[in-house]
Amino acid sequence: MIVIHGASAISPNLLILGGTTEATALARAAHAAGVTGTVSLAGRVAWPRDQALPLRIGGFGGVEGLAGYLHREGITHMVDATHPFAAQMSTHAVAANAATGVPLIALTRPAWRAQPGDRWAHVPDMAGAVAALDRDRANVFLAVGRMHLTDFAARPGHRYTVRLVDPPQAPLPLPDTRVIVARGPFDVESDMALMRAHAIDLVVSKNAGGTGAYAKIAAARALTLPVIMIDRPPIPPRPEAATIAQVMDWLAHAGATERGV
Ligand code: NAP
């Protein structure tokens, strides 16, 4: 059981903004430590992974909605463990922290860095990746997630291979697409096999960081394939933790007297 030190010691009631492997692992650690809390998901995948803490699904309704939720549910601590590309949710969490005083920490992973043998072209955002595909027809492994496929409709001339968590419910916006339905983490050998099987010429990837999505990057290096690497979106400054242990430590020591709800 976590013990909170401070003048107004209270039992933590944690909100984990989730949707990542790290968030799921944090929920497991919090549960094991006897911490009460909730995992929040946007509702993007049909069958979310089981969570060790109760789950709520769906947007909060902007910053105001999140602030209202924190107040209503008596949340004492908020951990932003969303994906580094979930910039809107992360920005809202910072604003809700400012509005309510509910302490916030982000569980983050470092961005990937190019290693010898990598052939990366950095682009600042999704639009940059689309622009970079202004080239001869290619077999493109488009690893950007379902929500961003529409952006690439502006480049219909390529043959795309996309990997999605759920089977698509509607025709994809790209005319020449092969869909692989699979959920990570993936390994290098199978991603190399996939790239060979589909005669991939180049990979488009977000700089997600972490291990779960890295296999395609290592596979591209092994096959000497170029990667269009989409840099991370900017997020306002906030306290960050690199490990679950650091978050648990923060939970034990931070915030009880900072509460503004
Ligand atoms: P986003 O663009 O930052 O967020 C858009 C809106 O979706 C938010 O304003 C919020 O709606 C809602 N939302 C996002 N994350 C939420 C959460 N954890 N709980 C409740 N509502 C949430 O987010 P996104 O990039 O679409 O990502 C959505 C989810 O997928 C996140 O949980 C993220 O961790 C996960 N994910 C994202 C990526 C990626 O590449 N973006 C990859 C893997 C997993 P309201 O304004 O109504 O509150």
Confidence of residue 51 (pLDDT cuts 50, 70, 90): very high
Q: Under the phi-then-psi rule, with left for phi > 0, alpha for psi from -120 to 50, and beta for the rest, what region is 94?
A: alpha
Q: Are residues 218 and 125 in the same domain?
A: yes
Residue 211 lies in a domain: yes
Residue 183 lies in a domain: yes
Q: Are residues 8 and 39 in the same domain?
A: yes
Confidence of residue 41 (pLDDT cuts 50, 70, 90): very high
The CA 88 to ligand 1 mean position distance, Å, reads 7
CATH of the domain at 151: 3.40.50.1980
Confidence of residue 53 (pLDDT cuts 50, 70, 90): very high
Q: Reduced to 3 states, what is the DSSP secondary structure of residue 164? A: strand
Residue 260 lies in a domain: no
Share of the chain above pLDDT 90, in %: 85
Model pLDDT for residues 223-247, shown as the tens digit of each residue: 999 999 999 999 999 999 999 999 9
Q: Are residues 244 and 165 in the same domain?
A: no
Q: What pLDDT is recorded for position 261?
A: 32
Whose CA is closest to 233, among 98, 83, 130, 133?
A: 83
Model pLDDT for residues 143-152, shown as the tens digit of each residue: 999 899 999 9
Q: Are residues 46 and 91 in the same domain?
A: yes
Which atom of ligand 1 lies closest to the CA of 66?
A: 48
Q: What pLDDT is recorded for position 10?
A: 60
**Mean residue pLDDT across the chain:** 93
Does any ligand 1 atom lie closer than 6 A to the CB of residue 92?
Answer: yes
Q: What is the pTM of this model?
A: 0.92
The CA 84 to ligand 1 mean position distance, Å, reads 10
Does any ligand 1 atom lie closer than 6 A to the CB of residue 107?
Answer: no
Q: What pLDDT is recorded for position 199?
A: 98
Does any ligand 1 atom lie closer than 6 A to the CB of residue 82?
Answer: yes
Q: What pLDDT is recorded for position 255?
A: 61
The CA 158 to ligand 1 mean position distance, Å, reads 28
Residue 221 lies in a domain: yes
Ligand 1 pocket mutation pick from 20, 41, 89 by most atoms within 8 angstroms of CB: 89
Neighbours of 186 (CB within 10 A): 19
Instruction: Tell me the HSE value of 20 on the side-chain side, using a 13 A CA sphere.
Output: 25
pLDDT of 212 > 90? The answer is no
Q: Are residues 134 and 96 in the same domain?
A: no
Residue 142 lies in a domain: yes
Whose CA is closest to 168, among 46, 18, 41?
A: 46
Q: Are residues 106 and 10 in the same domain?
A: yes
The residue length of the chain stands at: 261
Ligand 1 pocket mutation pick from 82, 85, 126 by most atoms within 8 angstroms of CB: 82
Residue 23 lies in a domain: yes
Residue 179 lies in a domain: yes
Q: Are residues 142 and 185 in the same domain?
A: yes
The CA 86 to ligand 1 mean position distance, Å, reads 5
Model pLDDT for residues 90-104, shown as the tens digit of each residue: 999 999 999 999 999
Q: Are residues 138 and 100 in the same domain?
A: no
Q: What pLDDT is recorded for position 196?
A: 98
Q: Are residues 17 and 89 in the same domain?
A: yes
The CA 89 to ligand 1 mean position distance, Å, reads 6
Q: Are residues 35 and 90 in the same domain?
A: yes
Whose CA is closest to 51, among 20, 72, 84?
A: 20
Residue 259 lies in a domain: no
Q: What pLDDT is recorded for position 254?
A: 76
Give the containing element (helix H, strand E) for 116: none
Share of the chain above pLDDT 70, in %: 93
Q: How many domains does the chain have?
A: 2
Question: In the β-sheet with 202-206, what is the strand arrangement from edge to edge?
Answer: 119-123, 226-230, 202-206, 139-143, 159-164, 177-181
The CA 75 to ligand 1 mean position distance, Å, reads 19
Q: What pLDDT is recorded for position 259?
A: 42
Nearest residue (by CA) to ligand 1, atom 28, is: 42
CATH of the domain at 248: 3.40.50.720
DSSP string of 197-247, one letter each residue: HTT--EEEEE---SSTTTHHHHHHHHTT-EEEEEPPPP-----EESSHHHH
Which atom of ligand 1 lies closest to the CA of 206?
A: 40
Is 14 within 8 Å of 75 (Cβ atoms)? yes
Nearest residue (by CA) to ligand 1, atom 8, is: 89
Q: Which residues contact 225 (CB under 8 A, 6 or more apart)?
A: 119, 195, 200, 201, 202, 203, 219
The CA 82 to ligand 1 mean position distance, Å, reads 7
Q: Are residues 85 and 13 in the same domain?
A: yes
Q: Which domain holds residue 44?
A: 2-110+234-253
Q: Are residues 208 and 146 in the same domain?
A: yes
Instruction: Tell me the HSE value of 71 on the side-chain side, using a 13 A CA sphere.
Output: 12
